[in-house]
Amino acid sequence: MALNAKAIKAVIFDYGSTLVEFGRAQVLLCDTALANALERHFGPPDLRKLKEVRDRDRMAPYRGSPPMFKENDLVAITTDLVRELYGVDPSPEQVADLLRVRYEIFVRAVQAPPYVHELLRRLRRKYRLGLLSNYPDGNAIRASLAQTGLARFFDAVIVSADIGLVKPHPVPFLTMIEALGVKGSQAVIVGDNWVADIQGAKQAGLQAVLCRQWATPEDMPRRPDDLEPDAIISHVTQIEPLLEA
């Protein structure tokens, strides 16, 4: 495959591990903050069990035969987390506090390198820009974009929590290209996740570029019948010369 740069009118970015780093270090930071909040309310958690549940919840939308790609409900998984760890039902106030902690630590954990601002500023002169992210809290993504100063560059921001489905389901991609006012063949997505970003985009009729700058937290191996990306880059800034080729 080869990127059809001349057809592209819109560039769509994944967020975590594409535009910004969100790998195991950031996941650990978020899980540690959650563990501390759990301890305040219920006592010291079993950290091994906490990690198991958190890892299971992260992969839950992709499981099943066939998978439904349904996004997690934060209230439901937080309630279930407390039940599994402590055998009690948390109060609405306790759940609200745990969700507040999740939100605040995510916003603090995400940082945008200066080169990302410069890249988006240049691309915005020529292309419509979108951000398409899998995350169970749309408000946290938008707050993070505001905190990092990236929000002003995007013509559309769509988060899986807002539509109830995660990439690679086609609905997030189709919703995005409709919001940007382009056809699938006129849009390229840049992402790190082989299944969510690359397979999802290709199956929805978009062009796709795999970015290998950071390790992807989710383990989603290749399958024999997978579609290939139109290009592979090792740093997000390498999308710019590809578009100019």
Which pLDDT value is given to residue 216? 82
Which pLDDT value is given to residue 24? 87
Can you tell me the mean pLDDT for 128-152? 98
The phi and psi torsions of 3 (rounded to 5 degrees) equal: -65, 130
Cβ proximity of 160 and 134 under 8 Å: yes
168-191 residue pLDDT tens: 999 999 999 999 999 999 999 999
The token pair at 144 is 């993070």
State in words which class domain 5-22+112-244 has: alpha beta
Closest CA to 186 of 8, 12, 3: 8
Residues with Cβ < 8 Å from 34, sequence gap 6 or more? 50, 54, 98, 101, 102, 105
Can you tell me the mean pLDDT for 213-233? 90
Could you tell me the residue ranges of all domains in the chain?
5-22+112-244, 24-109
Distances (CA, A) of 235 to 119, 133, 147, 153, 209: 12, 18, 23, 19, 11
Which pLDDT value is given to residue 218? 75
Compute the distance between CA of residue 189 and CA of residue 78 in angstroms, rounded to an integer.
31
Q: State the sign of the Cα–Cα–Cα–Cα dihedral 53, 56, 60, 64.
A: negative
Which pLDDT value is given to residue 118? 98
Compute the distance between CA of residue 28 and CA of residue 23 in angstroms, rounded to an integer.
9
pLDDT of 13 higher than 80:
yes
Cβ proximity of 67 and 61 under 8 Å: yes
Can you tell me the mean pLDDT for 64-86? 97
DSSP β-bridge partners for residue 133: 159
The token pair at 241 is 């010369």
Which pLDDT value is given to residue 101? 98
Cα–Cα–Cα angle for 243, 10, 178, rounded to 5 degrees? 160
Instruction: Residue 76: count other Cβ atoms within 10 Å of its Cβ.
Output: 11
pLDDT band at 1, cuts 50/70/90? low
Amino acid at 211: C
The token pair at 70 is 């349904």
pLDDT of 106 higher than 80:
yes
195-209 residue pLDDT tens: 999 999 999 999 999
Query: What do you get for the CA distance between the two ends of the chain, in Å?
Result: 15
Can you tell me the mean pLDDT for 64-79? 97
pLDDT band at 57, cuts 50/70/90? very high
Cβ proximity of 94 and 82 under 8 Å: yes
Compute the distance between CA of residue 183 and CA of residue 44 in angstroms, rounded to an integer.
52
Peptide bond into 66 cis (omega under 30): yes
Cβ proximity of 173 and 132 under 8 Å: yes
18-50 residue pLDDT tens: 999 998 899 999 999 999 999 999 999 999 999
